[in-house]
């Protein structure tokens, strides 16, 4: 059985090896009905950083967004290998880790990702969109694709 490492400190742990998990319907089904996923990115020194984040899923691809200058976006630009697991809003895991790759979206793909997130999170996301207009910082949308079975 695969077990995630316990969190300590500011949600950072030593990097765990990215292991393969056969992408079955059950592996992705653990995200059904969930509002948050824990996204684990790696610093240049190999330390893993976990962040709970909203997501939308379509066709086995997970879509998220963040401000362009956040640490997670910088880490993904440096290393697109990530892990994800369902979690609550505080980052407490509710499922198993899945290895994945993140890709920064632009244009039409980013607009579709934004629309999916707006639809899933409704009023809360739309309120965030309004406040974002007063703090004009660039948003980045990502597609996270679970690794194919080995």
Domain that holds residue 124: 12-146
Torsions phi, psi for 21 (to 5 deg)? -130, 120
Q: Please, which residues have CB within 8 angstroms of residue 20's CB and are 6 or more apart in sequence?
A: 99, 147, 149, 150
Confidence check: pLDDT of 129 > 90 = no
pLDDT at 26: 75
Domain count, the chain: 1
Q: Please, which residues have CB within 8 angstroms of residue 112's CB and are 6 or more apart in sequence?
A: 63
CATH of residue 68's domain is: 2.30.110.10
pLDDT at 61: 94
**H/E stretch holding 122:** helix 107-134
Per-residue pLDDT tens for 9-51?
444 444 434 333 445 567 889 999 999 999 999 999 999 999 9
């Amino acid at each position: 059985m695969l077990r995630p490492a316990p969190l300590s400190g500011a949600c950072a742990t030593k990097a765990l090896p990215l292991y393969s998990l056969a992408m079955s319907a059950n592996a992705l089904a653990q995200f059904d009905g969930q509002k948050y996923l824990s996204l684990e990115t790696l610093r240049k020194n190999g330390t893993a950083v976990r962040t709970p984040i909203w997501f939308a899923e379509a066709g086995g691809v997970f879509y998220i967004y963040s401000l362009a200058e956040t640490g997670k976006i910088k880490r993904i630009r440096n290393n697109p290998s990530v892990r994800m697991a369902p979690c609550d809003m505080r980052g407490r895991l509710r499922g198993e880790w899945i290895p994945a790759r993140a890709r920064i979206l632009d244009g039409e793909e980013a607009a579709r990702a934004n629309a999916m997130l707006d639809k899933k999170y409704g009023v809360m996301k739309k309120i965030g969109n309004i406040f974002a207009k007063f703090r004009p910082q660039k948003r980045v949308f990502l597609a996270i694709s679970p690794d194919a079975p080995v």
